[in-house]
Amino acid sequence: MRRHSIVRCWPRSCAQRSTRLFWFPIAILSLGAFVGCKTEKWVDVREIPLNPLSGVLQLTSDSGPQPTPRTRQFLRRYDLVGDIENKPRVLLDKVHELLVEEPDNEKVYSFVELAYIHGRRAENEGNLAEATDHYGAAVAYAYSYLFDTRFEAGRNPYDPQFRRICDLYNAALEDGLRIICQNGCIKPGDEVNVNTCGQEFQIEVVAHGPWQREDFGDIKFASDFQSEKLRNQYRTYGLGVPLIVTKKRKDDDPAEEYYPDSLCFPATAFLQVTTTPGTDTEGGKPTVRCVLELIDPLDQPYAMVGQEPVPLQTDLTTPLAYFLSRPEFDSNTIAKWGLLSPGDTQEIRGLYMLEPYNPRKVPVIMVHGLMSSPVTWIEMFNDLRALPELRDNYQFWFYLYPTGQPFWVSAAQLRDDLAQTREKLDPQHQALALDQMVLVGHSMGGLVSRLQTIDSEDDYWNLVSHESPDALEASDEDREQLFRLVFFKANESVRRVVTIGTPHRGSDYANDTARWLARKLISLPNYMLDTKRRIVANNPGYFHDTWAMTVNTSIDSLSPDSPILPLMLEADQPSWIKYHNIVGRIPDQTSWWEQLTTQRLAPDGDGVVAFSSAHLEDVESELVVPADHTSVHRHPRSVLAQVPQ
C-alpha cells in the first residue's frame, strides 16, 4: 500500500452502486451524527487585497491615494503642499533633497509615505516601471528608518508613525513583488535585477527554514484570500509579506510520500537592504543591493538584522485554508467512500504530514472517526500549531483510513503503517522523539488508537476459538490476515493516548436498524470477505463463536454487544503509557428546537455516545466539555487539554 495524494476518490464501480446512493440519505439519518467533515468552502478571494493602509491613505477613494494629515503638516512647514497633485515627481525630489541635507525621522517618514502614494498612482496609470521605482524607494528608506543608526534616537515605538512605517515597508514590498512576479515567481537561489526609471535593485533570493529551493512551487500572496471557515485566524504583526507557497514534489526525500499533493506552506518575504539608499552607483545609476529572505514562520518567526531578531508579519491560517480549498482535495468524497467502499480507498490509506518531517519533534498522530477524514482535525491543528511551545517540540501527523471496515481491522493497518513509516524515516531507530509518540483519536478513532497500546495475549483468539492456532487449516496468506487481527503487541513507541468522544462501551447508534442499513450500503473488499469465508468453510467446528468472523462493517463493530469492547477495557495498561479521556455532554438547557432537530439517542452524553460509554475510570485525566459528538474535539477546552502542563 502506498499513495501519492489525497485526490478525488470516486470508486471505479460507483456507477454500479447507484441504487445504494439512492439509499444514502436514509443511512445518514442513522449514521449522520458520526460525520466529522462535510463539503465546505475554506477560502474566498478578496475583491481587494488586504492592506492596513487602505483607510489611512484612502487607497480606494475616487480621488486616489492621499497623504496623511501628519505628512501634509510636514509639507506645509516646507511650503510644498501645492506640489502634491501637480508635481509629484518634483515633490519627491525636493523632500529627498531635504532628507539628504539634514536627515531626521520626520523627513524620512514623509518621503516613504509619498513614495508609496505615487507608486500606487503610477501603477493605477499603468506605468509599472515608475511604480516599481517608487515602491523600491519606499521599501529602502522605510528600512533605513527602522534600522539605520542615524535614525535610532528618533525612533519611538509608542508613536503611531512607527507602526505606520512598518505598514508602509510591508505594503511597498508586497506591491513591488507583485509587479516583479508578473514575469514568474521568484524562488530561492534566484538573483533578480530590477531596472527602474531611477535606480537598479540587485536582489538575491534565499530561503530560511526546512523547505529548500526544490520545494518552492507556485507562490501567492496571503492578502488576496480570506477564510471564514476557520474560526481562529492566526497572524502576527511585524515586518514582511505573508505568502502561500505550493510545495513541489521531489524524489530524494524519504518523507515525500507522506506529503499530500498541492500541499501549501506559509512563508514571509523579508527584504534586507544591504546598502544605504542612494550611496552606491554603478554606471551613474543608483544601485540598491538587497537580500530577499523567504522565511518559514513556523520554523523561525523572526528575521535577523545584524544580531537583532525582528518579528515577522505572518499568516499561518490562510495557507492552510487555501490548501484545503484546492480542487484536488475533496474531503467529503474521501469520507463518504471511506465508509461506503473501504476497498476503493485503501490506496490512499496511511499517514499524512502537513509540515516537514523533523526527527527531533515528537509526532502527534490524529486519528479521525466514522465517515470522516483528517479534515475533522483542522480546527484543532490550526489552534495547536499556533502555539510556539507546541510547534517547537511536536509535529502533527494525520491518519486516513477507510471507516466502513471494523475498527480492529483499521487498528491492525495503523499498527503496520506506523512500523513501515518508522523503517522508512528512521531505519536505525536513532530519532528518540519517535519513541515518544502521542495518539489522539476522535470517536471510533479513539478505539483504533487505544488498540495500539494493548497486548492481545490469547484473549482475542479465545473470543472465536479455543482450539490451537497451529491447528488452523488455511493458506499462509489467509493465516497471516487472521492472526494480525487477533495477535498483537503494544507499540512501545507510544507514550500518550487521548480519546475524545469515544464509544468505549459501544454506541446505541449502532442499533439493529443502523447495522442492517450499513450491511446494505457498505461494500467491504472481496479479498477481505473471501478470506473469512474460506477460513470458516475449511475449519468446520473450529470456531465456537463466529461473531467476530462475521462482523462485516464498522457499524457492527461499534455495537454495545461487541465482546471486543470489554476486552479492551479490561486489558492491562502498559506502564509507559498515559491515557487521557475527553467526554462530550450536551448541556441540559438546549432549546426545544435543538432537541427536535438533533438526533439524541444518548441524551446523557454527546448525543451519539452516552456518558456511561465514553467515561473511563483508569485514566490519567478525564475532561467533560459541553459539546455534542461532532464538535467535542473542536471545543476550546478539548484543544487546550492537548497542551502539556
DSSP 456-491: -TTHHHHTT--S-GGG----HHHHHHHHHHH-----
Last residue in a domain, options 181, 199, 223: 181
Considering the domain architecture, whether residues 122 and 24 belong to the same structural domain is answered as no
Domain membership flag for residue 226: no
- Could you list the beta-strand ranges (E) of 274-335: 281-282, 285-295, 302-305, 308-311, 314-315
Q: What is the pLDDT of residue 6?
A: 41
Determine how many CB atoms are found less than 10 A away from the CB of residue 303. 20
Q: Is residue 255 part of a domain?
A: no
- pLDDT score of 509: 74
Q: Is residue 157 located within the same domain as residue 22?
A: no
Q: Which CATH number goes with the domain that contains 616?
A: 3.40.50.1820
Q: Is 73 in the same domain as 155?
A: yes
Q: Are residues 406 and 475 in the same domain?
A: yes
DSSP tag of 222: G
pLDDT tens readout for residues 361-419: 999 999 999 888 899 999 999 999 999 999 999 999 999 998 888 899 999 999 999 99
According to the model, what pLDDT value does residue 27 have? 41
Q: Report how many domains make up the chain.
A: 2
Q: What pLDDT, on the 0 to 100 scale, is given for residue 305?
A: 95
| 200 lies in some domain | no
Residue 263 belongs to a domain? no
Could you give the C-alpha distances from 152 to 78, 103, 239, 295, in angstroms and in order? Answer: 24, 12, 17, 26
Domain residues for the domain of 161 are 69-181
Instruction: Compute the distance between CA of residue 600 and CA of residue 495 in angstroms, rounded to an integer.
Output: 34
Please state, in angstroms and rounded to a whole number, the distance separating the CA atoms of residues 127 and 88.
Answer: 14
Judge if 27 and 103 occupy the same domain: no
User: What pLDDT is recorded for position 88?
Assistant: 72
What residues of the chain score a pLDDT lower than 50? 1-39, 597
* Whole-number Å distance between alpha carbons of 110 and 68: 9
Q: Is residue 546 part of a domain?
A: yes
**In three state form, how does the secondary structure of 327-387 look?**
CCCCHHHHHHHHHHCHHHHHHHCEEEECCCCCCCCEEEEEECCCCCCHHHHHHHHHHHHCC
Main-chain phi, psi angles of 277, to 5 degrees = -55, 130
Residue 53 lies in a domain: no
Whether residues 149 and 34 share a domain: the answer is: no
**Do 422 and 523 belong to one domain?**
yes
Shared domain for 24 and 78, answered yes or no, is no
Residue 357 lies in a domain: yes
Give the pLDDT of residue 24.
37
Query: Is position 194 within any domain?
Result: no
Task: Tell me 558's DSSP state.
Answer: T
Cell matching residue 441: 483519536
pLDDT confidence of residue 204: 94
Residues 419, 503 share a domain = yes
For residue range 189-219, list pLDDT tens digits in order: 999 888 766 678 899 999 999 999 999 999 9
The whole model's pTM is what? Answer: 0.87
159, 181, 203: which is the final residue of a domain?
A: 181
Of 166, 181, 196, the residue at which a domain comes to its end is 181
